[in-house]
Structure 1
Amino acid sequence: MTDIIYTYYTTLMEGFLMELRKMILLAMFSTLVFVATSINIHIPIGLGTGGLMHLGTLVMFMIALRYGPFYGAWAAGIGMAMFDVLSIWQIWAPGTFFVRLLAGFSIGMLSRSAKGQGRQPLKNVLALLAGGAVIVVGYFVYEAVFLGVGLVAIGSVLGNLVQVIIGFAALALVVALPDIDNTEGL
């Protein structure tokens, strides 16, 4: 009887610790995205309402490529939406949350391979192209429809493309990231 209780207890605790570990990693990744997004400069580009250049997209791309769709989606959505909420960009928060969540998920899913998450360069490039398209189209739709600026939103496409190009630096940096599934103490 004692063995059964011990086995049940250890299994329960292992599951709890794994979930706790996932929550801690998600909080850490979301914070990294938030801080990187806070490193920004406002450059009026085009005729649209956008123009905030930041490093958040780079960090988001790195997390999604290396750690997959769960961390990529939630860290991007939470981290960048929190930046919007706590800055002058509050009206963008709902759009940012959903656009970045979907982009992070897409990148994470498309960069999976038999060699491991984010380990095939060609898949990584294709994943970033798809995620970049989600960002550009998603923000265009949010701005045009939900913010009600119509075709004026096309002016923000250039700024979003610049953000995606900045994010492509993740391709060179992602190889230095540790594997969280096999790293003790991370």
Structure 2
Amino acid sequence: MKRSICLLCLSALGIALTFIASLIRIPIPSIRWYFHLGDTIIFIVSLLFGPIAGAVSGAIGSSLADLQAGLAVWIPFSLVIKGFEGLVVGWISQGHEGKKDLVALFIGSLLMIGGYAIATIILFGWPVLIYEIPVDVIQCVVAIILSLFIVRSIRKRFPIISKLKGCIEWKNQI
């Protein structure tokens, strides 16, 4: 029961932060596109609290942000892509306390870029990839840099965070 409450609270925090960060959109005027910091939060939650909290916050937080922004067509894609992104990043990094963070973030970024490339082709056709992929790459590079910096700072200043992750390890949730 204690583990379930811990996971629920951390996931709710992740959902709220992902939602807010995804709604703060940074426009790229020349192509009328934008990027946001939602992936940064998904990465932080996944690295600090593991795959379940990362998947839940990525899937639900991003989907709610799409709904709020009036982008309902993206909701099913965000649900799957961002959820899987959080799951994979948390799973790869789990139990390695910083040693595999960069690898996990790189693989998670590739999944996000590839997932949204497929979604873009389904929704709008392949020519739109010329706009989608560069923006997603920028978003992932920024997310990787920020999340590594933030996670390392949190782990250094608040070592108790590592103990929180222990209450929701992946093996305990299966």
Q: TM-score of the superposition, structure 2-length normalised?
A: 0.82
1:126 alignment partner, one of 86, 99, 103: 103
RMSD: 2.0
| Percent of residue pairs identical | 24
Q: CA distance change for structure 1 residues 182 and 111 in 2, over 3 Å: closer, same or farther?
A: closer
Once superposed, which parts of structure 1, at least 4 consecutive aligned residues long, lie more than 3 Å away?
none
Q: CA distance change for structure 1 residues 162 and 33 in 2, over 3 Å: closer, same or farther?
A: same
1:56 alignment partner, one of 38, 54, 63: 38
Which residue number corresponds to residue 172 of structure 2? Answer: none
* Contact residue 48 and residue 165 of structure 2 kept, 8 A: no
* More helix, by proportion: 2
* Contact residue 10 and residue 49 of structure 2 kept, 8 A: no
Instruction: Tell me the secondary structure at the aligned position of residue 70 of structure 2.
Output: coil
1:96 alignment partner, one of 57, 65, 78: 78
Q: Can you list the C-alpha shifts for 1:23-51, whole angstroms capped at 9, x where unaligned?
A: 222112100111111222222565xxx83
Give, in angstroms, the shift of residue 19 of structure 1. Answer: 2.1
- Count residues with an aligned counterpart: 159
Instruction: Tell me the secondary structure at the aligned position of residue 133 of structure 2.
Output: helix
Give the distance between the partners of 1:163 and 1:45, measured in 2 at CA. 16
After superposition, where does 1:33-182 map in structure 2 within 5 Å? 33-44=18-29, 51-113=33-95, 115=96, 119-121=97-99, 123-145=100-122, 147-168=123-144, 169-175=146-152, 176-177=154-155, 178-179=161-162, 180-181=164-165
Q: Rg larger in 1 or in 2?
A: 1
Give, in angstroms, the shift of residue 181 of structure 1. Answer: 4.1
1:170 corresponds to which letter in structure 2?
S
Gaps of 5+ in 1: 1-14
Give the distance between the partners of 1:154 and 1:110, measured in 2 at CA. 30
1:156 corresponds to which letter in structure 2?
E
* Contact residue 50 and residue 165 of structure 2 kept, 8 A: no
